[in-house]
Amino acid sequence: MKTKLILIRHGQTHWNAQKKYCGFMDVGLSPKGKRQAEKLHRRLHCEKVHHVYASDRKRAVQTAQIVFKEFKIKKLKGLREMHFGCFEGLTHKQIMKKHRRVYQKWLNDPFNCKIPEGETLKSFKKRVAVALRKIVDDNPGKTVAVVFHGGAISIFITTLLKNKDFWKWIPSSTSMSVIEYENKKPKVVLLNDDSHIKKARKNG
């Protein structure tokens, strides 16, 4: 009996476009992000999905509501993006100006450097893993969509693949990654698929 998770990154926000760290900040979708979600809705409207979960942040909830219009969205705080502390709301350039030393240290060794006022990568990794494990345990044999954040998806999948280059792979906006569980063992069967966006660009 297989349990399937469809992991979806939320659509673009204005802060994403400006390359700002969002983290725990409750930022909604931009018009482009809403269009991305509509394209994913058209792609998935025939997919058999039993339940839909999302981070409780606006950008994730709004994406889930657009993609899965007929579903009641189950919100989980454990699916939130990493808390970037004093980096939140700032761009790379602004952080380099205000917090250069700690930022460089964190970029070079994110697992052992805690961002002031934020959370450690270790606690973030555990939080996301616990939330996803609960979803799997609560939905044996079902297909479940989970709409959340780029960093959260990245740290979960890179851990499954035993890849330590956490920041070198961040999923695209509204991309899909699929994990299948059989006998509680996970297998990555689709990774960062945003063909619905690329197809729309080609046809447009």
Encoding tokens for residue 160?
Answer: 């499954």
Whole-angstrom CA distances from 138 to 50, 115, 143, 181 are 12, 33, 11, 13
Where helices occur in the chain by DSSP H, the ranges are: 14-17, 31-44, 58-67, 92-108, 121-138, 150-160, 195-203
The answer to whether residue 10 is catalytic is yes
- Residue 84: CB atoms within 10 A of its CB come to 23
Domain contains 193 = yes
Which one of 10, 99, 149, 196 is the catalytic residue? Answer: 10
Domain that holds residue 63: 2-84+121-203
Domain contains 27 = yes
Domain contains 32 = yes
Buried b (16+ CB within 10 A) or exposed e, 100-137: eebbeebeeebeeebbeebbbbeebbebbbebbeebbe
Domain contains 111 = no
Domain contains 98 = no
Q: What is the mean pLDDT of each run of 10 residues along the chain (204 residues)?
A: 96 95 96 97 93 98 97 98 96 95 91 91 95 97 98 94 74 97 93 85 49
Report the distance separating Cα 150 and Cα 139, nearest Å: 23
Domain contains 171 = yes
Q: What is the CATH number of the domain that holds 142?
A: 3.40.50.1240
Domain contains 106 = no
- Residue 200: CB atoms within 10 A of its CB come to 16
Domain contains 115 = no
- pLDDT, position 169: 80
Which one of 41, 45, 81, 119 is the catalytic residue? Answer: 81
Sheet of 143-148, strands arranged across: 73-76, 51-55, 143-148, 2-9, 176-182, 185-193
Q: How many folded domains does the chain comprise?
A: 1
- pLDDT, position 1: 84
